[in-house]
Amino acid sequence: MCVGKKIFMGRKPVACDPKCDEGKITRQIVLDWLAAGDTGISSECLAYEFLGAEKKGAFGIRPPADPSDLGRCLRLIARVPEVRKCVDNLGLKHEGWAKAAAVWDDIASLMEDEVGIDWSKGLSAPKTFKLMKAAGL
């Protein structure tokens, strides 16, 4: 475990390489995000895919169904840009995500312009919702 200059009980510390924990730190950011509560079914699908874990639950693996779902996904991607690849990965595995992957950049851009991924520019995203529905989401 990389612990810097302090020694803690547990496994024997190893020398710190500034790059040694990049992957661990990124995984921890995703785990912290999952625990923080700004999640929904679709954003959890992305997080689990990123972590290499199987998403279980009654609702299964689903792409965003509305701009609120989409916003949660985009906020996760904003925190951990590597998660964007998971949209395409899920698209290779699931029909609904394939539809999402085909228009992802367009709907993400439209939402950003229309309301912002954090809803800072508005309270309703009818254009984003219309494009999502047209894509079969």
What was the pLDDT predicted at 54? 80
Compute mean pLDDT per 10 residues along the chain, 137 residues long, and list them. 45 43 76 88 94 80 95 95 94 95 97 96 96 96
- Distances from the Cα of 102 to the Cα of 88, 106, 110, 114, 128, angstroms: 8, 9, 14, 20, 15
Contact 96, 63 (CB under 8 A): yes
**pTM of the prediction?**
0.81
State the DSSP code for 13: P
pLDDT of 20 reads 47
Residue 5's pLDDT is: 47
With 0-12 / 13-18 / 19 or more C-beta atoms within 10 angstroms meaning exposed / middle / buried, residue 120 is exposed
Domain residue limits, the chain: 22-134
Q: Which helix (H) or strand (E) holds 51?
A: helix 41-51
